[in-house]
Chains A and B, each alone.
Chain A
Amino acid sequence: MNTMMKKRFRLSEFLAEKLITATAFISFAFIVLIFIFVFRETLPIFSVPEAAITQEELGEQETYGDITLTDAEKASEKNEKSKAVNDEGASIKNLAGERWQPVSSKPKYGLSPLIIGSLKISLIAILFAGPIAIFAALFTAAFAPKWAKEILKPAIEILAGFPSVVIGFFALVVLATVVQDLLGLEYRLNAFVGGLALSLAVIPIIYTISEDAISAIPKSLTEASLALGATKWQTALKVILPAATPGIFAAILLGVGRAFGETMIVLMATGNAALLSANLFEPVRTMSATIGAEMAEVVFGETHYNVLFFIGSILFLFTFTLNAIAEIFVRQRLMKKFRGD
């Protein structure tokens, strides 16, 4: 009887452990599935040659927003068109093109305006969010009186809690008008407004990780500096900041990753015109916003559908790489630095 009991208990132990392990494995399984299923839908671009692009004289021209093509652009498009005639099934070449016109009679899937758009927006967002968040974190750690911390910390939590669609809405309705009036801009919605709004979503990430990195610095370091007669601000700038650099760098990388992948804010605040330009005050269309805006309208299995998945794969790989690098920086460099290896 006794041995029976024991055996039954062992069985339940065994089952519990196996079941728990199997359930925990679900997370990993889904990462693999995400890889497989997002990439799977991009495969047709590479394997099946696209049907030969038929030549059509300047037919439909899809433009986004109220931007019209300048003569120079039209001319360059003509050139491109004549080139495209010889381009049988060159879909990869097509992807490298300069135009994103997926729903015209002669669809063009040039990704460069979208990639440039994403980079532009992320750059603007980081240029705003980086300094604000890092200096605010330094302020919290080194100078802030208690009452200031007690306001700042909840403020960061609230900012992090804003759904991105709320930030997007605020940017669309309020921020865009304010920026346009202040700077006298031609377009209400543009890369600058989008980047500025995006920085609101990035600030909490950079702040939190920078603050973690700063508070992970051993007390002995700052105390030594103070004991040597350095002032508080000298310690902050010359001891705390350099020691926290790897962590802050990781914070910025994660911030870039967030900015690059964020969809709703840019979808609502950037104007969504796929222009290839360096002007920060013109509308842009980012990779994420393109997926968000076009996927619902697209026919499954079409080239357009596959190209949108391809854009998603790029987003996935990019943020994945950034996160991996950030992790290495936080884990290894920080440890090494303090151990003095």
Chain B
Amino acid sequence: MTKKKLLGGLVVGTTGFFAFIIIATVVIVMTNIVAGGWSSLTKDFLLGSPEEGMTKGGIFPAIVGTFLLVLIMSIAGVPIGTITAIYLSEYASQKSILARMIRFAVNTLAGVPAIVFGLFGLGFFIQFVGTSVDGVLYNDGELHWGQPNILWASLTMALLTLPVVIVSVEEAIKTVPRELREASLALGATKWQTIRKVVIPNSITGILTGAILAVSRGAGEVAPILFTGAAYFLPHLPTGLSDQFMELGYHIYIMATQSPDVEATRGIQYATTLVLLILTFTLNFSAIFLRYKLRKRIIT
């Protein structure tokens, strides 16, 4: 009997220990980055430009670049994701071949490595679409759209975050009570009217959650923009869609691995990492909060 108890204690202890490792890791990483970056996180750092060969100054252009990236990404991706979710939950019969194809595509998109999206952005948006546009519109032998820029980077990122939006919106649409739809239909409204006036307004929280999660993901991914638009250093902020841009995650990567004196800029690297972390956390927690509110609706 005591042997059994001992074994039981061992099992509980071991599994508990593994759980503890996860918690400890999270605490260690967070503490390290906050401790390393906090002191450099000043107003000048947030609102200044890099100076003296990126060894001093701030990260304002990278913050603006990240903001523009996720903005254009959302404008392209959120409507498409929302409409796809509406199709999947309202129009498609679950057995139809088209619905299956689309579900398969969404699952596949969610599993494609980020770097492959980067390759696709380069091969499709830049080399195919961009070069064709240059050939048709300008035809002066110079590159206008056939090179990395913020538009192609944003569209690549929109594709990567599409499954995030779709899954989140579909989940929200499922929580709209059947009775509401049926009441609308019984009053003589058509299907499209019901979707527009009943389903979508009642899924706004879910659409917002999806958009926030997508933005958080998009702000954190670096691999897709490595060669589709991010730049090492730019003296000016991007003024148009065909400009390159600086980005927070890319800035961390570049500063930590490619700058001439890596040790001297450690403070900047830590502070940039902290900014990115605060950004994604704020987004993730607001998404969790919205979801929590959404779940409460199901119960009441």
A residues apposed to B, CB below 8 Å = 9, 12-13, 16-17, 19-21, 23-28, 30-31, 33-34, 37-38, 40-41, 131-133, 135-136, 138-140, 142-144, 148, 151-152, 155-159, 161-170, 172-174, 200, 203, 207, 231-234, 236-237, 254, 257, 260-264, 267-268, 288, 291-292, 295-296, 300, 308-309, 312, 315-316, 319-320, 322-323, 327
Contacts and interface: CB of A to CB of B under 8 A. Distances in A.
- Main secondary structure on A side of the interface with B: helix
Nearest to B7: A233
B220 A165 contact: yes
A9 B190 contact: yes
Contacts of B112: 34, 261, 316, 319-320
Interface string B94-138: 000010011011111101111111111011100110000000000
A334 to B, nearest CB: 16
Contacts of A140: 19
B174 interface: no
Question: Which of A19, A133, A264: most chain B CB closer than 10 A?
Answer: A264
Nearest to B10: A233
A136 B265 CA distance: 38
A223 to B, nearest CB: 18
Given A38-B119, A136-B18, A169 B256 contact: yes
What's the dominant secondary structure at chain B's contact region?
A: helix
B86 interface: yes
Nearest to B18: A135
Given A21-B91, A262-B113, A323-B111, A152 B22 contact: yes
A170 B116 contact: no
Nearest to A168: B253
Interface in B118-177: 118-120, 122-124, 127-128, 159, 162, 166
A31 B12 CA distance: 45
A204 to B, nearest CB: 9
A268 B227 contact: no
B156 to A, nearest CB: 11
Contacts, number: 257
Contact of B116 (A30, A34, A159, A323): A34
A261 B114 contact: yes
Nearest to A309: B119
Which are the 10 A-B pairs with shortest beta-carbon distances? A261-B113, A163-B220, A24-B87, A139-B15, A135-B18, A323-B111, A28-B105, A263-B223, A16-B192, A136-B19
A9 to B, nearest CB: 6
A242 B249 CA distance: 41
A162 to B, nearest CB: 7
Contact of B253 (A133, A174, A264): A264
A231 B7 CA distance: 11
A148 B249 contact: no
Highest count of chain A CB atoms <10 Å: which of B15, B29, B36, B226:
B15
B279 to A, nearest CB: 9
Interface string B78-92: 001001101110011
Nearest to A30: B159
Q: Identify the interface centre among B23, B26, B270: most chain A CB within 10 Å of its CB.
A: B26
Contact of A295 (B29, B107, B118, B222): B118
Contact of A20 (B91, B113, B216, B280): B91
Given A17-B192, A155-B26, A135 B113 contact: no
Contact of A33 (B29, B83, B120): B120
A119 to B, nearest CB: 15
Contact count band on B: 35 or more
Contact of B119 (A23, A24, A312): A312
Nearest to A139: B15
Given A38-B116, A143-B12, A257-B111, A135 B223 contact: no
A291 B121 CA distance: 13
B33 interface: yes
B39 interface: no
Given A164-B221, A231-B4, A315-B113, A34 B87 contact: no
B82 to A, nearest CB: 9
Contacts of A315: 113, 115-116
B86 A172 contact: no
B205 interface: no
Contacts of B273: 165-166, 169
A254 to B, nearest CB: 8
A268 B222 CA distance: 12
Contacts of B128: 37
A268 B11 contact: no
B107 A26 contact: no
Interface in B9-32: 11-12, 14-16, 18-19, 21-23, 25-26, 29-30, 32
B8 interface: yes
Contacts of B280: 161-163
A132 B19 CA distance: 7
